[in-house]
Structures are given as C-alpha cells and as structure tokens.
Amino acid sequence: MTNNTHEIIGVQQTTCCIVGGGPAGVVLGLLLARQGISVTLLELHQDFDRDFRGDTIHPSVMEIMAQIGLADRLLELPHSKARTLKLNSTNGDIALTDFSRLKTAYPYITILPQAKFLDFIATEAQQYPNFNLIMGANVQEIIEEDGVVRGVRYRGHGGWHEVRALLTVGADGRFSRMRQLAGFEPIKTSPPMDVMWFRLPRKSEDTSGLSGRVSNGKMIVLLDRSDFWQVAYMISKGAFAQLRTAGIDFLRKSLVELVPEFSDRSHLLEDWSNIAFLSVESSRLPKWYLPGLLFIGDAAHVMSPVAGVGINYAIQDAVVATNVLSEPLKRGSWHLWDLAEVQRQREFPTRVIQWFQELAQKRIIARALNQNQQFTIPAFLQLPVLRDIPPRLIAFGISPVRLNS
Ligand SMILES: Cc1cc2nc3c(=O)[nH]c(=O)nc-3n(C[C@H](O)[C@H](O)[C@H](O)COP(=O)(O)OP(=O)(O)OC[C@H]3O[C@@H](n4cnc5c(N)ncnc54)[C@H](O)[C@@H]3O)c2cc1C
C-alpha cells in the first residue's frame, strides 16, 4: 500500500476496478457489465497479443459461453478441436484423456489464440456503456484508506491516474504486482520440470489433434494449430542452462529422435530466440482477499501447465466472483465474508486440481524425463473404471461452475 506522491492528472470513480486483462479479468469485466455494474478494467499492454500463453478453451468455459449466448459466435472464429490427448511411448499408444466421452455439448478442447478470445470478450463487454477498458495502464499503487482498499493508481496516457472503486480485483497474473503491493506471499511448490515452447510448420500429411511423445528421457506435447504445431518440449527442472550450453543443434537432434517427421523442418529452429522458456511453478495464496480487494486467476493461484487448466480455472474464478459479488456490488456495499465466500468456493477445486497435477508430474512426467528408467504408462491410467476421471477433472474441475444469472 502506498501514499500518493504523484501529480494525478485524472480520477475516475467506478464500482469494480479490475487490474489485469487476461482471461480472469476480461471475463469478470464482461459478466459484471452484463449485470449493469460499473466496471473499469486496467490492462498493462496496449493489445492482447501474446504468444505461448495458453490457447485452450475447455468444455466448462464453452458451457459458460453458451450460458451467455456467445458459444456459437466464439466457435465461428478460426480454431481447431482436440478430442483426445494421445500419448505415444515405446510401450504403445494410449488415449491419456478422451474428452469425446464427456457428457457435454462441447466434448473437446477448443484451441484458439488467447489474443483472439480476449479481443472477442472485450469487444462484447464494450457494448455495455458501464464497461470501461483502459489499455496501457500500468497499475503501480493501491489506494488504501482506513484499512480498506479504495482503488489503484496507474501510470498511463499522459502520466498518473487514479481509479477509485467500491471493490478492486487483482487479476494481474502469475507475477502479480497487486499481490506484492498487498504484501501477500503465495505458498509455492516446485514441479519437477520446465517447458520450452516453440512452433514449427504443420503439413497436410501430418497427424492432427493433441498428442504426446515419450522416449529416452524426453517428453513432448504437440498441439495442432492448423498450419503450425505448437510444441511443448518438457525438460527436467533446471536443465535448460545445460541444454543451451549443448547448443541448438543438440536440441534439433533430440527433437527429431522424438518426432522423426520433424527431420524436414527442425532446421527452422535457427537459434534460441525461437524458443520461449517457461519456468514451471505452482502456487496458491493462503488468503485471497483484504477489505476492498480480491484476487482471482493466476494472481491467486499459478497452475502447473499439466493439462493446461490455467485459463479454465481463471475463468471459473471470474464466474464464482460474479455469482457471489453481483448483488453486493449492485447494493453498493460488500461484507468481508462475501470476499471470503469467493475463496471458499474456489480454493478447494484449485487444491484438488493442483494435487492431480502433482500426481501427474510425479507418476508420468518425472518418470518420462528419467533417462535411467524405461518409461511405462502407469497401469491405473488404463483401467476402464478410472479413465473418465482425468478428462472430467480437466474439463470441469470437481464440479461444473455455472453462472447464476
Ligand atoms: C508459456 C505458457 C503456456 C501456457 N499454456 C496454457 C494452456 O495451454 N492452457 C491453459 O489453460 N493455460 C496455459 N497457461 C496458463 C494461462 O496462460 C494462465 O493460467 C491464464 O492466462 C491466467 O489468466 P489470468 O487472467 O489469471 O492471468 P494472465 O493471463 O496472466 O493475465 C494477467 C494480465 O494482467 C496484466 N497485468 C500484469 N501486471 C499489470 C499491472 N501492473 N497493471 C495492469 N495490468 C497488469 C498482464 O498484462 C496480463 O494481461 C500457460 C501459461 C504460460 C506462461
């Protein structure tokens, strides 16, 4: 929390100030605006463009989109659909998760650039006169008065601005500035892997969909993006520096060992600037709120990339926050227990999926990355009675989240 020492060139009053225009913030902005609540959404960047930030829309999100009448229009945007995640290893192929068996109108993962999704939702929200999106707003201070958060200060067009709000929501992602300003420290766990992301062209004769390959201590996940492959190359935690020393040519060779079809295009990985490195972490805040301030999405809990659930859970947080907080915000006053209720409803599902990710990291990924051990697919994953649990958990969490109105 900080005292103002700047010249403020503009002050705005709103009911809910949301910091961060990622999936959590943009969806929350739309859902509150639909309820007639005055919302100001502050986003650091000038646009939503981002590479390798997760481009997956899960069935639960599609159902929420259907609830607000946007699913059909969303599916008109260019996208691909992944119905299964197949894992190819030396002991055969297995459908690790099969979404096509789920009882939903959307039994697949929709793969759609996140920037397009955010643009779509923000454009929809901008139809409401009570929704105000400010791009290029770098929030740097929290306004606190009498122990209550009353809004934020940001550096934006022309200098410093203030947004005063009944409620402020920190949806500013895994490196949350808001969390730091509030003095909140997440509880972290350290997953056993890191990920390198890159893209390679996809040819018409290639396979399609979502698949994984494991061999000789290496593991890769391939996402079919129509004209290119989005590749997640998993490595043991801390191995990136060693790999860089070994050189890009070594990486190309390892890649071709794992995916021989890429022998005709691995040369397109010219240097390390083609590779985006993600240090994998998983964390959650012990407390998601303070008087006048609530955290949602990655700011409240960073998910491991296992099963790509970060967007899904961020949007589910936004839906629950809307369900719980719409009436207090319309009324013009909140109680601390309203904010606590959002955490109460979302913390348990978050802990369950993080536990599931930890299990997958230990039982599948750490084994796959162990060069001294022949990788075998864990037997429990092949039991018919258990095989529907992972897709259901990934697609919906422990129970589907729905919008109350
Ligand atoms: C490399 C990578 C790959 C991933 N792949 C997947 C995947 O396949 N599927 C999946 O579901 N998830 C994936 N994720 C995770 C997913 O991107 C996040 O879980 C999700 O975006 C979280 O949404 P959010 O809205 O909480 O935060 P974010 O998407 O991080 O959005 C936060 C926003 O806040 C803004 N911001 C930050 N600081 C400030 C500030 N001071 N002032 C104003 N605005 C600010 C940022 O610019 C950003 O737009 C991946 C993440 C990474 C890093």
Give per-residue pLDDT as tens, 162-178.
999 999 999 999 999 99
Residue 405 resides in a domain: no
Query: Which pLDDT belongs to residue 93?
Result: 74
CA-nearest residue for atom 51, ligand 1, is 53
Of 263, 278, 293, which residue constitutes the final position of a domain? 278
Dist CA 151 CA 162 (whole Å): 7
Residue 400 binned pLDDT confidence (cut-offs 50, 70, 90): confident
* Together in a domain, 92 and 22: yes
Q: Which residues pair with 230 in a beta bridge?
A: 199, 223
Residue 237 binned pLDDT confidence (cut-offs 50, 70, 90): confident
* Together in a domain, 106 and 176: yes
Residue 404 resides in a domain: no
Lowest mean pLDDT among 20-34, 43-57, 154-168, 244-258: 43-57
Tens digit of each residue's pLDDT (9 = 90 or more) over 272-308? 999 999 888 899 999 999 999 999 999 999 999 888 8
Q: Is 332 helix (H, G, I), strand (E, B) or coil?
A: coil
* Together in a domain, 160 and 41: yes
Query: Which pLDDT belongs to residue 306?
Result: 85
Q: What is the position in ligand 1's atom list of the atom closest to the CA of 174?
A: 30
195 touches 223 (CB < 8 A): no
Average predicted confidence (pLDDT) for the chain: 91
Q: What is the position in ligand 1's atom list of the atom closest to the CA of 48?
A: 49
Dist CA 110 CA 57 (whole Å): 5
* Together in a domain, 183 and 201: no
**Alpha-carbon separation of residue 405 from 91, 320, 339, 370 (angstroms):** 49, 11, 19, 49
Best-predicted range by mean pLDDT (22-26, 232-236, 277-281, 304-308)? 22-26
Q: Tokens 């990655």, residue?
A: 298
Query: Which pLDDT belongs to residue 381?
Result: 66
Share of the chain above pLDDT 90, in %: 69
Residue 26 beta carbon below 6 angstroms from any ligand 1 atom: no
What's the CATH code of the domain at 78?
3.50.50.60
Distance between Cα 220 and ligand 1 center (Å): 22
Residue 303 beta carbon below 6 angstroms from any ligand 1 atom: yes
Residue 160 resides in a domain: yes
Share of the chain above pLDDT 70, in %: 96
* Together in a domain, 57 and 184: yes
* Together in a domain, 231 and 379: no
16: tokens are 């809910």
CA-nearest residue for atom 30, ligand 1, is 173
* Together in a domain, 134 and 205: no
Dist CA 300 CA 330 (whole Å): 24
pTM: 0.93
Distance between Cα 113 and ligand 1 center (Å): 13
Residue 329, pLDDT above cutoff 70: yes
Residue 401 resides in a domain: no
Of 256, 278, 300, which residue constitutes the final position of a domain? 278
Residue 158 resides in a domain: yes
Dist CA 121 CA 113 (whole Å): 13
What's the CATH code of the domain at 230?
3.40.1840
Of 225, 254, 278, which residue constitutes the final position of a domain? 278
* Together in a domain, 69 and 138: yes
* Together in a domain, 264 and 292: no
CA neighbor of 10 nearest in space, from 157, 147, 143, 121:
157
* Together in a domain, 139 and 216: no
Tens digit of each residue's pLDDT (9 = 90 or more) over 131-152? 999 999 999 999 999 999 999 9
Residue 379 structural domain: 8-189+281-396
Query: Which pLDDT belongs to residue 268?
Result: 96
Residue 311 beta carbon below 6 angstroms from any ligand 1 atom: yes
* Together in a domain, 242 and 296: no
CA neighbor of 44 nearest in space, from 180, 178, 184:
178
What string of H, E and C letters represents the secondary structure of 25-82? HHHHHHHHHHCCCCEEEEECCCCCCCCCCCCEECHHHHHHHHHCCCHHHHCCCCCEEE
User: Which is higher by pLDDT, 161 or 365?
Assistant: 161
Lowest mean pLDDT among 14-23, 196-205, 292-301, 352-361: 352-361
* Together in a domain, 137 and 267: no
Residue 371, pLDDT above cutoff 80: no
Query: Which pLDDT belongs to residue 397?
Result: 86
Q: Residues 204-243, buried b or exposed e (16+ Cβ, 10 A)? A: eeeeebbbbbbbebbbbbbbbbeeebbbbbbbbeeebeeb
User: Which is higher by pLDDT, 7 or 126?
Assistant: 126
Lowest mean pLDDT among 153-162, 182-191, 365-374: 365-374
Residue 42 beta carbon below 6 angstroms from any ligand 1 atom: yes
19: tokens are 């910091």
Residue 91 binned pLDDT confidence (cut-offs 50, 70, 90): low
Structural domains counted in the chain: 2
Residue 334 resides in a domain: yes
Residue 117 beta carbon below 6 angstroms from any ligand 1 atom: no
Residue 2 resides in a domain: no
Residue 364 resides in a domain: yes
Q: Is 12 helix (H, G, I), strand (E, B) or coil?
A: strand
Residue 171 beta carbon below 6 angstroms from any ligand 1 atom: yes
Residue 177 beta carbon below 6 angstroms from any ligand 1 atom: yes
Residue 225, pLDDT above cutoff 90: no
